[in-house]
Amino acid sequence: MDRNLFHRLLRALAARSRATSAARFSTSKRRTRFSARGSTWPIRVTPAERHRLTLLAKPLGAALSPHTVPYIRSPIRRAWLQSVVPKFPPRLGGSLCVLGLLLVASCGEAPTPLGHGYTRKGEHVHFEGGGSTGADGGTRIDKPSEANIKGFQDALGRTLPLCTNPDVASFEALSEEYCRDRNKVYYKWISPGRFLMIELPGADVASFRALSLVFAVDVSSVWYMDQPIAGSDPRSFVIIDDRIGKDRNHVYFSGERAAQFDAASFRHLGSGYFADKDGVYWGTDSVAGADLETFEVLDNSFVAKDKDRVYRSGQVLDSFDAATTKLLLHDPYGYQFTSDRNGVYVNGLKFLHADPADFTMRDNRCGVGSGYLFFVDVWHSTPITLYRENGGLVAETILYERETGRGLAIVRADLTEGGMQNVELSPPPGAEAAGSVPAWQMDLFRRLDLASSLREKARTYLP
């Protein structure tokens, strides 16, 4: 390879471009030929010159088009050129192309995407899908900072086998978390803004497969994150839910064997509900008294029912009528609007004045009916009823004892621009006197942000 000859030829072409620019740009037809195309800048060369450039450029990593015009194709180099070219008139396009080719020659091979956020750069592998190794914002997988290593090891409570000397040529991204090369398997621990690549000692490279974000298998084991699950059978293993799986012998929750389940009949019903031949479960806890034959999860929410009862997060809602219970809304924040023949509820807590026959959801925070607005305060999923009275706005709710769900008192207040005013307590339904209400519950009800949200909803939905 004659690098000097390559550079001399490029310099000669650039000089010719500058010397003849006036003649070349004298007509619109020729101007089109030499102007920028999209984000690339060509320079015209003769066939002989193209042949010589091609022969000389290949060993240097430069790429020439088959149409006698060299182009800068890498997005990185193109972005660099875009930041430079506007400073110069179009006639210098050829010179900038020369500069780009020199950049190609000096930088070597372009980065190679490996999938799932991984990139091969020269002799190293980087993860550029988010976060850093803590080493000055670095992304090289085998070069974490000492602080990053300590942070992960302290959080996990154990020493981690760090990724060292990965074989770059054979490196393969199986998923964002699991990777391998011809010698080792790797797992990527993540934390906000940080990641740490570690090795999986004992993993069989040839048979290793990623199944999900947290599950993988090889010839001898099921892996949960970076640990093999003792006694697992990879040949019969199936994923049941995000962090739950089973094989022919056992059920596993977050990599731990859950011995209370019958593996053969274990299945996911929806949300956090599961079942086997012996009963219904919320997570790993049995739902006492649930009727397996009629049990159903309402729209993959926390709410379920059978022929006799209604449940939320596995707990019985005693006051609900199972036959007429409906799910009105399941929100990702973790609250649900439901109704039965007796009323409308949020997380099992009843709205005052709500008629289920005349209730309509308006958005994910409120519904309306019979001149009332029904709003959930997401701080503690408190059901608040709002209505107009004597030209003003009134807010009411039942404050409940959190441990038992027993109503303590009805709290009523005038909703003004200055917040909740004239707060009064009265007995809850079925009680002769108001109970003792904790100060923190009253403070939550008096919040200015809650008052502002209620006024905004009233302007929109309460005429």
Could you report the per-residue pLDDT of 163-174, keeping only the tens digit for each? 999 999 999 999
41 domain-assigned: yes
Q: Are residues 273 and 343 in the same domain?
A: no
Partners of 426 in the β-ladder: 410
- Give the domain-ending residue among 107, 138, 166: 107
Q: Are residues 74 and 183 in the same domain?
A: no
Q: Are residues 349 and 411 in the same domain?
A: yes
Sequence-ordered list of residues with C-beta below 8 angstroms from that of 451, at least 6 positions apart, any chain:
415, 416, 419, 420
Look at 282 and 34; give whichever has higher pLDDT. Answer: 282
Percent of the chain whose predicted confidence (pLDDT) is above 70: 76
Domain count, the chain: 4
Rounded distance, CA 214 to CA 253, Å? Answer: 12
Does 105 score more than 50 pLDDT? no
Distances in whole angstroms, Cα of residue 142 to Cα of each of 110, 173, 355, 369, 416: 20, 15, 63, 61, 60
Instruction: Please say whether the beta carbons of 335 and 381 come within 8 A.
Output: yes
pLDDT at 109: 63
Q: Are residues 307 and 188 in the same domain?
A: no
pLDDT at 402: 78
Task: Pull the structure tokens for residue 331.
Answer: 């929100």
pLDDT at 405: 78
Lateral strand order in the sheet of 118-121: 112-115, 118-121, 124-127
pLDDT at 135: 75
Partners of 293 in the β-ladder: none
pLDDT at 185: 98
Q: Are residues 139 and 72 in the same domain?
A: no
Does 58 score more than 70 pLDDT? no
Rounded distance, CA 397 to CA 33, Å? Answer: 75
Q: Are residues 57 and 166 in the same domain?
A: no
Q: Are residues 304 and 391 in the same domain?
A: no
Rounded distance, CA 293 to CA 320, Å? Answer: 20
Radius of gyration of the chain (CA): 34
- Give the domain-ending residue among 153, 170, 201: 201
Instruction: Please say whether the beta carbons of 209 and 200 come within 8 A.
Output: no
Q: Are residues 341 and 455 in the same domain?
A: yes
Secondary structure of residue 195 in the 3-state scheme: strand
| Mean pLDDT across 248-265 | 97
Question: Which of 131, 109, 114 has its CA nearest to residue 59?
Answer: 109
- 108: confidence class by pLDDT, cuts 50, 70, 90: low
Rounded distance, CA 451 to CA 393, Å? Answer: 11
Q: Are residues 427 and 390 in the same domain?
A: yes
pLDDT tens-place string over residues 303-330: 999 999 999 999 999 999 999 999 999 9
Query: First vs last Cα of the chain: how many Å apart?
Result: 82
* C-alpha 258 chain-centroid distance: 28
53 domain-assigned: yes
Give the domain extent around 381.
333-461
243 domain-assigned: no
- Give the domain-ending residue among 155, 186, 201: 201
Task: Pull the structure tokens for residue 10.
Answer: 């490029």
Q: Are residues 17 and 97 in the same domain?
A: yes
pLDDT at 9: 52
pLDDT at 433: 92
251 domain-assigned: no
Does 242 score more than 70 pLDDT? yes
209 domain-assigned: no
Q: Are residues 273 and 347 in the same domain?
A: no
Task: Pull the structure tokens for residue 158.
Answer: 């154990």
Does 75 score more than 50 pLDDT? no
Is residue 245 left, alpha or beta, with left meaning phi > 0 and alpha meaning psi from -120 to 50? beta
Instruction: Please say whether the beta carbons of 159 and 150 come within 8 A.
Output: no
- Per the prediction, the chain carries an average pLDDT of 83
Does 397 score more than 60 pLDDT? yes
Sign of CA dihedral 75, 79, 80, 84: positive
- Max mean pLDDT among 63-77, 186-200, 433-447 falls in 186-200
Q: Are residues 377 and 423 in the same domain?
A: yes
pTM of the model: 0.72
224 domain-assigned: no
Percent of the chain whose predicted confidence (pLDDT) is above 90: 69
| Mean pLDDT across 12-29 | 42
Instruction: Please say whether the beta carbons of 105 and 97 come within 8 A.
Output: no
Instruction: Please say whether the beta carbons of 413 and 422 come within 8 A.
Output: yes
Secondary structure of residue 438 in the 3-state scheme: coil
248 domain-assigned: no
120 domain-assigned: yes
